[in-house]
């Protein structure tokens, strides 16, 4: 009889657990740089080929890191995962490990500022990058060609919350044998089924929802065991992007409440978006869970819910946005997201300030746009804070 698969909430608590000889309840934190061998022969053998529970050096692997990697892989539905020291290190590791001079990357234009910077950096090393409107499948069809190395996009774009059709883009990319890489931060592993929907590589900044308490940086790359161990791992371990065991331990702790936190945040986000839809101080409320979102049907089909993030366009441009931000009493101004505390930021002057004004305008990042990451405060308190700031 086949064992019934566990729900994601259970996997986030139990998957990948490794206990020491002491049988500890909590996950053990192995704060060590290196490992001791029983013999010179054992050391030589491990450097030739290490098993899943055989370790050489913390930059190459660590029991705490491996627990975190295995738990994320189980949660994401991939064969394996490799943890990195930040979300951008994960994006860098995924892209750089497959690219070389002459490679061709097709990417959605609507991306986090650092993702756009990294794509520009790749062009300096002879990689061709083609940017497209990620919501326009005809542009993907026109850009992906025989020899394209990979396609890259955020499943929900930062900060304007465009939804990319993972299955449709994956079909286009796979017809030309291109690797499908998805930055899945806004969707979270709770709502997303990116790997099942066609993504070959799924990338997270674990700094966000997985930690959920603003404590430590981290990232993770998920994919097949062959891709992770033969392509990603050699690049990351030799370029120095491995995660700290302490941060893996923090993230293992954060994962235990991930499902509960993210679902509650999403419910609050819908309540806030609904309450503010007709507020005269706003010219636009962007939330995939609202029926008037241009890709609402796709969002619900792909994620099931609208997620934890909103974008609000404040009347009066940057001056209006700044006045509103400065009047907030409960919601914090910061550039992180996915925290238990609600956070708001002004992308045009922070996360996307490096973009030329015309590029920001094309992406919908107007002077009045603010990005809101909904936390775990009571939604009535968040709504009241936003309304008094707008009034």
Q: Which residues pair with 222 in a beta bridge?
A: 81, 202
- Are the beta carbons of 134 and 160 closer than 8 angstroms? no
Q: What is the pLDDT of residue 1?
A: 45
Nearest to 336 by CA among 306, 367, 308, 315: 308
44 φ, ψ (degrees, to nearest 5): -60, -40
Digit-by-digit pLDDT tens for the chain (391 residues) are 457 889 999 999 999 999 988 899 999 999 999 999 999 999 999 999 888 889 999 999 999 999 999 999 999 999 999 999 999 999 999 999 999 999 999 999 999 999 999 999 999 999 999 999 999 999 999 999 999 999 999 999 999 999 999 999 999 999 999 999 999 999 999 999 999 999 999 999 999 999 999 999 999 999 999 999 999 999 999 999 999 999 999 999 999 999 999 999 999 999 999 999 999 999 999 999 999 999 999 999 999 999 999 999 999 999 999 999 999 999 999 999 999 999 999 999 999 998 889 989 999 999 999 999 999 999 999 999 999 999 9
Q: What is the pLDDT of residue 2?
A: 59
Helix axis angle, 258-276 to 379-390, nearest 10°? 40
Distance between CA atoms of 333 and 345, rounded to whole angstroms? 6
On the question of a cis peptide bond just before residue 159, with omega within 30 degrees of 0, the verdict is: yes
Nearest to 152 by CA among 188, 116, 102: 116
Exposed/middle/buried for residue 317 (C-beta within 10 Å: 0-12, 13-18, 19+): middle
Distance between CA atoms of 55 and 129, rounded to whole angstroms? 37
In which element (H, E) is residue 45 found?
Answer: helix 40-48
- Are the beta carbons of 118 and 262 closer than 8 angstroms? no
Structure tokens at 350: 């922070």
- CA 30 to chain CA centroid, Å, is 26
Nearest to 91 by CA among 4, 207, 190: 207
- Are the beta carbons of 196 and 15 closer than 8 angstroms? no
pTM, whole model, 2 decimals?
Answer: 0.95
Distance between CA atoms of 181 and 156, rounded to whole angstroms? 13
177 φ, ψ (degrees, to nearest 5): 60, 30
Structure tokens at 259: 């499902």
């Amino acid at each position: 009889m086949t064992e019934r698969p566990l729900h994601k909430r259970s996997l986030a608590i139990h998957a990948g657990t490794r206990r020491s000889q002491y049988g500890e309840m909590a996950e053990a934190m192995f704060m060590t740089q290196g490992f001791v061998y029983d013999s010179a022969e054992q050391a030589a053998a491990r450097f030739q080929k290490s098993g899943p529970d055989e370790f050489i050096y913390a930059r190459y692997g660590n029991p705490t890191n491996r627990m975190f990697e295995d738990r994320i892989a189980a949660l994401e539905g991939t064969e394996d995962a490799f943890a990195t020291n930040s979300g951008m290190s994960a994006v860098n590791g995924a892209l750089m490990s497959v690219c070389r001079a002459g490679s061709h990357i097709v990417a959605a234009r609507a991306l986090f500022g650092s993702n756009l910077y990294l794509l520009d950096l790749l062009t300096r090393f002879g990689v061709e990058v083609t940017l497209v409107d990620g919501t326009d499948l005809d542009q993907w069809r026109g850009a992906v060609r025989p020899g394209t190395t990979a396609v890259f996009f955020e499943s929900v774009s930062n900060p304007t919350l465009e939804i990319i059709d993972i299955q449709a883009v994956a079909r286009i990319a796979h017809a030309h044998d291109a690797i499908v890489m998805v930055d899945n931060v806004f969707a979270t592993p709770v709502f997303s089924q990116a790997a099942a929907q066609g993504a070959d590589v799924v990338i997270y900044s674990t700094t966000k929802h997985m930690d959920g308490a603003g404590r430590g940086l981290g990232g993770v790359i998920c994919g097949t065991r062959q891709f992770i161990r033969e392509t990603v791992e050699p690049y990351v371990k030799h370029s120095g992007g491995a995660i700290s065991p302490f941060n893996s331990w923090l993230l293992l702790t954060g994962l235990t409440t991930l499902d509960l936190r993210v679902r509650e945040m999403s419910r609050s986000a819908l309540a806030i978006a609904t309450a503010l839809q007709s507020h005269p101080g706003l010219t636009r409320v962007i939330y995939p869970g609202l029926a008037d979102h241009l890709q609402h049907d796709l969002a619900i089909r792909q994620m099931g819910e609208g997620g934890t993030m909103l974008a609000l366009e404040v009347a009066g441009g940057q001056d209006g946005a700044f006045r509103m931000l400065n009047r907030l009493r409960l919601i914090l101004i910061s550039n992180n997201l996915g925290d238990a505390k609600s956070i708001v930021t002004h992308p045009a002057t922070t996360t996307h300030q490096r973009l030329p004004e015309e590029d920001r305008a094309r992406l919908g990042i107007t002077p009045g746009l603010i990005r809101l990451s909904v936390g775990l405060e009571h939604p009535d308190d968040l709504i009241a804070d936003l309304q008094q700031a707008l009034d």
